[in-house]
Amino acid sequence: MSSYNGAVPTSENGPDIHDAGDETWGSEAAQVLQRVFGYASFRQGQQEIIDHVVGGGDALVLMPTGGGKSLCYQIPALVRQGVGVVVSPLIALMQDQVDALRALGVRAGFLNSTQDYDERASVESAFLAGELDLLYLAPERLRTEATLRLLDRGKISLFAIDEAHCVAQWGHDFRPDYLALSTLHERWPDVPRIALTATATPATHAEIASRLNLEQARHFVASFDRPNIQYRIEPKNEPKRQLLKLIRAEHPGDAGIVYCLSRSSVEKIAEFLTDNGVQALPYHAGLDARTRAENQSRFLREDGLVMVATIAFGMGIDKPDVRFVAHLDLPKSVEGYYQETGRAGRDGLPSTAWLAYGLQDVVQQRKLIDTSEGDDAHRRRLGTHLEAMLALCETVECRRVRLLDYFGQRGDSCGNCDTCLTPPESWDGTVAAQKVLSTVFRLDRERRQRFGTGQIVDILLGRSTPKVLQHRHDSLTVFGVGTELGEAEWRAVVRQLLAQGLLTVEGDYGTLLLTEASSEVLGRRRQVMMRRQLHKQPQGEARAKGAKPRRMTQEDLPEEAVPVFERLRAWRAATAKEQGVPAYVIFHDATLREFAARMPSSLAELGTVSGVGENKLAKYGQEILDVLAEEGA
């Protein structure tokens, strides 16, 4: 845990590693962790945060997705007197959140607009009777006088404000409701508040603190690193085939999310995957609400489904075993990209974040920015976001180092991203850059008509296409000066010039234009280093060892444990179906893996496996022992 220096006034509020007098709370929290959740130790940062909130302090928590934020308010709610009120914007997920807690033996309930009068009334009376540990509310509830009066009549142990970045993001659907939360403290001055988010550049961090009136709170900033996620970015050639290869070679039968920019590509890709034997479902804002809810619920409940979606999908999805997140279009910002890829591997097991991007993405994104609503300042901001994303794509450095740097954190070369695993060559592309730029310059001088990448490449390669002949481009001095590279390589050069801000693109046809910086290159005052295109993805092949690719979650399980693991999964699927809850609510993959690897033979031994708390041991312990004792088929 650390705090940003300077950006936000945290230094005097920064976390102490050891608070005096926390011994008793600390041990009570540790007991709850063990007894209820079945975990032996806290993850980085959890203990400090929990101690602070148990002691009545306010907290602003910045932790990456999968970092373990929920326990930071769930445990204090269990330790403190009263009911923990959790503000969460995702009505569709409340039932699952509450089911997951109930499976642990925690008394949880929710109030939202999907309930009928009787359901609401019974939750309300449980709240008033002090029979709840946690109560989930949608933020708009807290704007109604009826809810406020209800809360007044019960005892509240804390307010947890989940997805706190909603308050900071312009145009966010939930923003007005979140803004209203800044007054919680006035009505309940003695109730601690803990706001949590996984989205936090220094600017967002500062805005959350000020909008929610949490400047005086203690700020906890965890490392944003997600070491179990392998980051890979590759050039987009045949996106469908590339995606299918990724799934078949490395993620057969795994759950994953594929992000596309448009509704129509979502539909097409989902159909393509289904036709090729990968179970996939579409999700976008154009589908009717029922289909969307149904697809989301199937994704959460069934094993190994692939969700093909626009970015409308995913916030608050806490499915722990999403094994890959693939982007088929360039994300609009690094912040968004990190949030989306962070949905992979919340359980800490190896996972993949894979992005394919090409020249066309840059053209498309620029066009979206040029035609976007809002003022110039807004468009400039969008442009800056895009440039940071492009720089990440074209870096020859470790991807993780770049990502962490974006969040104001330092990292070392990670060994688990494409640039670390197969370092790209960097080459001096200054001459190639000059050739492209001077061609663009000559075409631009004609003024009458503007040209995109295709024409530039044809000219450099000396191709007498009808369009080249029609405009007499074969008479330009640059005609045919670029035969040392092939078409794909020239396109990569253009892409990287765009990424480095040495070219820009405009209009429907992706007209290339010079920028101010271009003249430095043309005037030989600036060297341009480029990333050499990789033709292979050796790290992918290395992972998919053996003739028959294994599901990633089976990887490095001993050979004899694999069939046991599969039997446990089948048992879990049947049990989850019977109860109408997602499979992970029963047990996580990581827990099933440990059962299969350790083969416990008694209830006592079973209880020592991570993820097995008292309640689940009592409920499922014997069944697990029976499954483990079965003769393998």
- The residues of the shown chain that bind ligand ADP, judged by CB under 6 A, are 39, 42-43, 46, 63, 65-71, 318, 320, 346-347, 588, 610
Separation CA 340–CA 355 (nearest Å): 11
Residues that bind Zn ion (CB under 5 A): 398, 400, 414, 417, 420
Separation CA 418–CA 395 (nearest Å): 11
In 3D space, the residue among 171, 509, 207 whose CA is nearest the CA of residue 372 turns out to be 171
The answer to whether 473 and 455 have CB atoms below 8 angstroms apart is yes
What distance lies between CA 152 and its chain's CA centroid?
Answer: 37
| Comparison of 417 and 612: residue with beta carbon closer to Zn ion | 417
CB 341, min distance to ligand ADP, A: 13
CB 590, min distance to ligand ADP, A: 8
Q: Identify what 67 binds: Zn ion, ligand ADP, none; CB under 5 to 8 Å per kind.
A: ligand ADP
Residues β-bridged to residue 156: 83
Q: In 286-373, at which residue ranges do the beta strands (DSSP E only) sit?
A: 306-309, 322-327, 351-357
Q: Identify what 76 binds: ligand ADP, Zn ion, none; CB under 5 to 8 Å per kind.
A: none
| Comparison of 421 and 597: residue with beta carbon closer to Zn ion | 421
215: left (phi over 0), alpha (psi -120 to 50) or beta: alpha
| Comparison of 366 and 569: residue with beta carbon closer to ligand ADP | 569
| Comparison of 63 and 161: residue with beta carbon closer to ligand ADP | 63
- Residue listed under structure tokens 């939360």: 181
* Total residues belonging to the chain: 633
Q: Identify what 341 binds: ligand ADP, Zn ion, none; CB under 5 to 8 Å per kind.
A: none
Q: Identify what 63 binds: Zn ion, ligand ADP, none; CB under 5 to 8 Å per kind.
A: ligand ADP
Separation CA 12–CA 216 (nearest Å): 9
Separation CA 345–CA 323 (nearest Å): 6
Q: Identify what 420 binds: ligand ADP, Zn ion, none; CB under 5 to 8 Å per kind.
A: Zn ion
CB 176, min distance to ligand ADP, A: 24
Q: In 143-238, at which residue ranges do the beta strands (DSSP E only) sit?
A: 156-161, 193-197, 218-221, 229-235
CB 102, min distance to ligand ADP, A: 15
| Comparison of 193 and 319: residue with beta carbon closer to ligand ADP | 319
CB 412, min distance to Zn ion, A: 9
CB 610, min distance to ligand ADP, A: 6
Q: What are phi and psi of 158, to 5 degrees?
A: -170, 160
Residue 309 tokens read as 């979606």
Q: Identify what 297 binds: ligand ADP, Zn ion, none; CB under 5 to 8 Å per kind.
A: none
CB 480, min distance to ligand ADP, A: 55
Q: Identify what 65 binds: Zn ion, ligand ADP, none; CB under 5 to 8 Å per kind.
A: ligand ADP
Q: In 175-228, at which residue ranges do the beta strands (DSSP E only) sit?
A: 193-197, 218-221
* Residue 267: other Cβ atoms inside 10 A: 16
| Comparison of 111 and 398: residue with beta carbon closer to Zn ion | 398
**What are the contacts of 378-384 at 24+ separation with CB within 8 A?**
382/332
| Comparison of 65 and 295: residue with beta carbon closer to ligand ADP | 65
CB 315, min distance to ligand ADP, A: 11
CB 100, min distance to ligand ADP, A: 9
In 3D space, the residue among 593, 587, 589, 592 whose CA is nearest the CA of residue 558 turns out to be 593
What distance lies between CA 284 and its chain's CA centroid?
Answer: 17
Residue 422 tokens read as 């197969």
| Comparison of 306 and 389: residue with beta carbon closer to Zn ion | 389
Longest dimension (CA), the chain: 87
Q: Identify what 398 binds: ligand ADP, Zn ion, none; CB under 5 to 8 Å per kind.
A: Zn ion
Separation CA 515–CA 589 (nearest Å): 51
CB 500, min distance to Zn ion, A: 21
Instruction: Tell me the angle at which helices 614-629 and 91-103 cross, rounded to the nearest 10 degrees.
Output: 80
What distance lies between CA 30 and its chain's CA centroid?
Answer: 29
Query: Is 499 strand, coil or helix?
Result: helix
Q: Identify what 39 binds: ligand ADP, Zn ion, none; CB under 5 to 8 Å per kind.
A: ligand ADP
In 3D space, the residue among 441, 448, 533, 526 whose CA is nearest the CA of residue 487 turns out to be 533
CB 22, min distance to ligand ADP, A: 17
Q: Identify what 236 binds: ligand ADP, Zn ion, none; CB under 5 to 8 Å per kind.
A: none
Q: How many CA atoms lie within 13 A of 229 on its CB side?
A: 34
What amino acid is encoded at 203 in this protein?
A
CB 227, min distance to ligand ADP, A: 14
| Comparison of 335 and 418: residue with beta carbon closer to ligand ADP | 335
CB 179, min distance to ligand ADP, A: 23
| Comparison of 136 and 357: residue with beta carbon closer to ligand ADP | 136
| Comparison of 66 and 482: residue with beta carbon closer to ligand ADP | 66
538: left (phi over 0), alpha (psi -120 to 50) or beta: alpha
Separation CA 217–CA 329 (nearest Å): 39
| Comparison of 327 and 569: residue with beta carbon closer to Zn ion | 327
Q: Identify what 66 binds: ligand ADP, Zn ion, none; CB under 5 to 8 Å per kind.
A: ligand ADP
Q: Identify what 572 binds: ligand ADP, Zn ion, none; CB under 5 to 8 Å per kind.
A: none
Instruction: Please measure the distance between the N-terminal and C-terminal CA atoms of the chain and give it in whole angstroms.
Output: 48
Q: Identify what 68 binds: Zn ion, ligand ADP, none; CB under 5 to 8 Å per kind.
A: ligand ADP
| Comparison of 124 and 250: residue with beta carbon closer to Zn ion | 250
Separation CA 539–CA 418 (nearest Å): 7
